[in-house]
Structure 1
Amino acid sequence: MSPIRTADGATTIESVRAVAGVSGFFFDDQRAIKRGAERDGAGYRGDPVTPGFDRVRQAGEAISVLLELGDGTVATGDCAAVQYSGAGGRDPLFRAEEFVPVVEGPVADALVGRRSENFRENAELVEDLCGTDDRRLHTAIRYGVSQALLDAAATARRETETDVLADALGTDPADEPIPVFGQSGDDRWENAEKMLLKGVPVLPHGLFNSVEKVGEEGERLVEYLEWLARRTEELGPSGGETEEGGYSPRFHVDVYGVLGEVFGPPYDRPEVADYFADLREAAAPYPVQVEGPMDEGGRGDQIHAMTELREGLADAGVGVDIVADEWCNTFEDVCAFVDAGAADVVQVKTPDLGGVHRSGEAVRYCEGTDTRAYLGGTCNETAESARTCAHVALATDAAQVLAKPGMGFDEGYMIVENEMRRALARRDLRNSQVIADD
């Protein structure tokens, strides 16, 4: 096929294909798990609760989007949804076969013939599209198609995806890798030790998603942080010291709202502050942040509870940061949490925001506030989407970025860290060539 280009040499999008595939983990019915569904090897016993689920745990799904450009190039991106789909106000369970016709129908109709280098314009077009049911496209579709559009624009412009995003968002990209946050899954001991051996900056997530794991009085989480602090000294690079002057990771644990069950209702402000002081002491000398301390069932109530907790910790002088996750899904949700000062850190859960440029905008919204942006996502993504998110993190200079996909840690960390290093090396090479030409 002869290259098809516009008058100024830019390539056009000639076709859009969708291929049903698999993601890096599972879809889990979070409500069923919180109600007591028991682990059964790799699965769970019990009946699903959230609409769309056939069982409490089922295989994760994805759609690979292929954009064929006029010069024969094929740009790619992967549609993926979070592990706990349908929970916390998110879009419903993502079934790949159900949505393939949407990508090859309304999405293809809107994109074919458009200039491939115009990332922002193309991505916003998809963001506003409706499917065959006249409803806004599932977040997973917007997410995956925007990745392919970013790949297409970077290829057409002969730039990195970081450069294209920085131009679209009006940012100055980071000049070094963003701190990577490793997630351990249920293997929170061995995987944490792997993270320490590799000098991961933020760890370990922990997956404390039940009272059983946290402890009836929160004691198991305290014991875990004590163990983690001790193992950091024993296993950290160079025995806890690095050439730069010391390995000092940040401890980040996700409790999935369980502390709200352990310490309430009713909410006892002094008791909760004392418990967070215990967490801080257990983690010492390393900083600690707690994600999703409670789940109040809606955005307004969640913001109120998070604000009250944050103010209570500040009044008590307890130096533990809290991270917003539940009910902080869309761009509008992120803005609401930041405006209310409800969290020290907000997770920008990339598949839930739709197009990747929306994740970038959410990170930017934190600029100039006392809230940091954690570019997160889910273990249930793909290598393709993880690499794209590495560029979003660099373009916006996020506070931290999630290692994904999967719960094995090593693979996700490798994918995200190496993608950032490659992007920075390409920029250095380009800059050195510019200097040589001058």
Structure 2
Amino acid sequence: MEIKDIFLAPGNGAFFYDDQEAIRSGAIQDGFIYVGAPTTPGFKSIRIPASSLSVGLVLTDDTVVWGDMMNVQYSGAGGRDPLFDTNQISELTSRVLVPRLLDVDASRYLDACAKVFEPFEHKRLPLAIEYGVSQALLRAAAHLHRATMAEIVCSEFNLPLPTRRVPIYCQSGDAREINVDKMILKAVDVLPHGLINSRQKFGVSGQTFMEFVKWVAARTREIGHPGYYPVLHFDVYGWIGLEIGLEPQRIADFICKVAESVPGFTLNIECPADFGSTQAQIDNYARIVSILDDRGSSARIVVDERCNTLMDIRLFAEAKAAHLVQIKTPDVGSIADTARAVLLCKANKVGAYVGGSCTETDLSARASVHISVATQADMMLAKPGMGVDEAFSIVGNEQNRLLATLNRRRAQNENVG
């Protein structure tokens, strides 16, 4: 077998794990920390540094390939896996995954994932383990076949080699104004996220949010190059529903009003409301989508909360309960399932956004690029971290290098032919 040893290395995520429920309930910011007691199980404080765990696979030629495990920023919220515990994940990986990894054919990617990720004690493995180990297996297959990770994905899923770049979406964090300027100057495709995660940021009846949206559009026209019209994408963390109620008609009315305030721009609204369960989310989001489509609005609904696993994504896509599905990579688990999720969305004519979290690493971000480009997703997140420059360069440069490599490969094949 191609894998002869496995070892682990503790690491850092690129941002912090945050207790979403405590923040949503009104926790006050003091500098960079939040003051008050945490409410989500596992959190010892409302904001804690993100941790990660790297898994290294030693191949028979002594090459070491890596993958990174972590959970998302708002762990334990919206049906997600609990807060990442490095010691627990390390122990389970060593006890359960190592024997499985030593016994697979690493050159056959999907087969290897299927064998390694079989249930343990009748339960699915923690999604963080699936996520990190699947990255390492993808890199192993790429090394063994002397190919890029994207080419392995294309081969395994019978996809043509991609030629189109995938639009990149940047997120601002709390440094909104400065980071919006950075995004505009760098001509980012989709911006700015905005982190509208509290009543203070959303405002009474959404007025603070509305003014911010208009400011972003105005700033784009002011300092952007002529003809630059990025997609405006705002994550409101359910605050439309929290502030104006959970009636789909009222939510759609508000979103239309926001879209009409920025003519000429496409508007993405992520997580307009949290209806409390996956089925309620599907039913009500489908209604909001239908109302917006009937009105011919330029606004698009993006689902995040309550849409975590591949099965969740299937349900939302088949119900047309979003214009775009955020495929939140650590929440999906195996990165092979991220590829499946994109293809599932495309089959249902729903947009596929390969997202993830600011808590990720450079390694997981690069693997996500290969999945996004191979499957030709509609957009992908610049990650990790909450800084624009680092994430945009990591994801953007990896995409450019990948496309250049594929173009060279294509030209070589044509010359041989």
Deviation at 1:225, TM superposition (A): 1.4
CA separation in 1, counterparts of 2:269 and 2:172? Answer: 15
Which residue of 1 is the match for residue 235 of structure 2? 254
CA separation in 1, counterparts of 2:231 and 2:393? Answer: 19
- 1:338-357 alignment runs, 5 A limit: 338-357=317-336
Deviation at 1:326, TM superposition (A): 0.7
Write the letter of the residue equivalent to 1:402.
L
Does 2:161 align with 1:156? no
TM-score (norm 1): 0.92
CA contact (8 A) 2:245 2:251 kept: no
Which residue, 372, 375, 395 being the options, matches 2:374?
395
Which residue, 74, 78, 83 being the options, matches 2:64?
74
Which residue of 1 is the match for residue 293 of structure 2? 314
Kindly provide the CA deviation profile for residues 81-127 of structure 1, in whole angstroms up to 9, marking residues without a partner as x.
10001111011111112211222221110011433211111112222
Which residue of 2 is the match for residue 380 of structure 1? 359
Which residue of 2 is the match for residue 56 of structure 1? 46
TM-score (norm 2): 0.97
CA contact (8 A) 2:6 2:55 kept: yes
Write the letter of the residue equivalent to 1:125.
K
Decide whether aligned partners of structure 1 residues 69 and 230 sit closer, same or farther in structure 2, where only a CA change above 3 A counts: same
Q: 3-state DSSP class of the match of 1:321?
A: strand
- 1:73-112 alignment runs, 5 A limit: 73-112=63-102
Percentage of matched positions with identical amino acids: 40
Write the letter of the residue equivalent to 2:223.
L
Name structure 2 gaps, 5 residues minimum: none
CA separation in 2, counterparts of 1:268 and 1:118? Answer: 46
Which residue of 2 is the match for residue 292 of structure 1? 271
Deviation at 1:268, TM superposition (A): 6.8
Which residue of 2 is the match for residue 139 of structure 1? 127
Q: 3-state DSSP class of the match of 1:379?
A: coil
Which residue of 2 is the match for residue 174 of structure 1? 162
CA contact (8 A) 1:386 1:405 kept: yes
Aligned CA-pair RMSD:
1.4
Deviation at 1:273, TM superposition (A): 3.5
CA separation in 2, counterparts of 1:358 and 1:397? Answer: 15
CA separation in 1, counterparts of 2:161 and 2:262? Answer: 32
Write the letter of the residue equivalent to 1:154.
A
Larger mean CA deviation between 16-25 and 154-163 belongs to 16-25
Deviation at 1:171, TM superposition (A): 1.9
Write the letter of the residue equivalent to 2:58.
E
Which residue of 2 is the match for residue 365 of structure 1? 344
CA separation in 1, counterparts of 2:105 and 2:251? Answer: 55
Which residue of 2 is the match for residue 426 of structure 1? 405
Name structure 1 gaps, 5 residues minimum: 1-10, 241-245
Does 2:305 align with 1:326? yes
Q: 3-state DSSP class of the match of 1:283?
A: coil
Deviation at 1:311, TM superposition (A): 2.0
Deviation at 1:315, TM superposition (A): 3.4
Aligned positions, number: 417
Decide whether aligned partners of structure 1 residues 170 and 435 sit closer, same or farther in structure 2, where only a CA change above 3 A counts: closer
CA contact (8 A) 1:173 1:396 kept: no
Does 2:153 align with 1:165? yes
Larger mean CA deviation between 109-118 and 204-213 belongs to 109-118
Write the letter of the residue equivalent to 1:334.
I
Does 2:173 align with 1:185? yes
CA separation in 1, counterparts of 2:256 and 2:406? Answer: 44
CA contact (8 A) 1:228 1:283 kept: no
CA separation in 2, counterparts of 1:174 and 1:229? Answer: 32
Q: 3-state DSSP class of the match of 1:391?
A: helix
Write the letter of the residue equivalent to 1:200.
V
CA separation in 2, counterparts of 1:393 and 1:103? Answer: 27
CA contact (8 A) 1:172 1:396 kept: no
Larger mean CA deviation between 407-416 and 117-126 belongs to 117-126
CA separation in 1, counterparts of 2:348 and 2:291? Answer: 19
CA separation in 2, counterparts of 1:60 and 1:385? Answer: 14
Does 2:263 align with 1:263? no
CA separation in 2, counterparts of 1:268 and 1:412? Answer: 35
CA contact (8 A) 2:248 2:285 kept: no
Q: 3-state DSSP class of the match of 1:367?
A: helix
Q: 3-state DSSP class of the match of 2:302?
A: strand
CA separation in 2, counterparts of 1:226 and 1:341? Answer: 28
Deviation at 1:22, TM superposition (A): 0.8
Does 2:31 align with 1:41? yes
Which residue of 1 is the match for residue 105 of structure 2? 115
Q: 3-state DSSP class of the match of 2:346?
A: coil
Kindly provide the CA deviation profile for residues 355-408 of structure 1, in whole angstroms up to 9, marking residues without a partner as x.
101000011001243310100000110000000000000111000000000001
Which residue of 2 is the match for residue 17 of structure 1? 7
Deviation at 1:274, TM superposition (A): 3.3
CA separation in 2, counterparts of 1:372 and 1:232? Answer: 24
Which residue of 1 is the match for residue 283 of structure 2? 304
Q: 3-state DSSP class of the match of 2:182?
A: helix
CA separation in 2, counterparts of 1:127 and 1:371? Answer: 28
Kindly provide the CA deviation profile for residues 138-193 of structure 1, in whole angstroms up to 9, marking residues without a partner as x.
10010000000000000010000000011122222431320000010111111111
Q: 3-state DSSP class of the match of 1:217?
A: helix
Kindly provide the CA deviation profile for residues 54-104 of structure 1, in whole angstroms up to 9, marking residues without a partner as x.
111111010001000011110111001100011110111111122112222
Write the letter of the residue equivalent to 2:25.
R
CA separation in 2, counterparts of 1:208 and 1:389? Answer: 25
CA separation in 2, counterparts of 1:296 and 1:341? Answer: 16
CA separation in 2, counterparts of 1:435 and 1:173? Answer: 13
Deviation at 1:134, TM superposition (A): 5.5
